[in-house]
Amino acid sequence: MSPNSPRDQKAQAERIIDRLRRAYKIGVKIAFGSDVVIETFEGKNRGELMMDYLDVWLAAGIPPAEILKCWTTNPAELMQIESRRGNIKPGLAADIIATPGNPLQDIRALRKVFFVMKDGAVIKHNK
The string of pLDDT tens digits covering residues 88-102 is 888 888 788 899 999
Check if the beta carbon of residue 53 is closer than 8 Å to that of residue 70.
no
| Per-residue pLDDT at 86 | 85
Check if the beta carbon of residue 100 is closer than 8 Å to that of residue 112.
yes
Q: pLDDT-derived band of residue 1, with 50, 70 and 90 as boundaries?
A: very low
119 or 109: which leads in pLDDT: 109
Q: Is the confidence at residue 2, as pLDDT, over 60?
A: no
Query: Nearest Cα to 114, choosing from 103, 98, 95?
Result: 98
Number of Cβ within 10 Å of residue 87's Cβ equals 13
pTM, two decimals, is 0.81
Angle at CA of residue 45, ends 11 and 56, nearest 5°: 30
pLDDT (tens digit per residue) in 11-70: 988 999 999 999 999 999 999 887 655 555 667 777 777 888 888 999 999 999 999 999
Q: Is the confidence at residue 107, as pLDDT, over 50?
A: yes
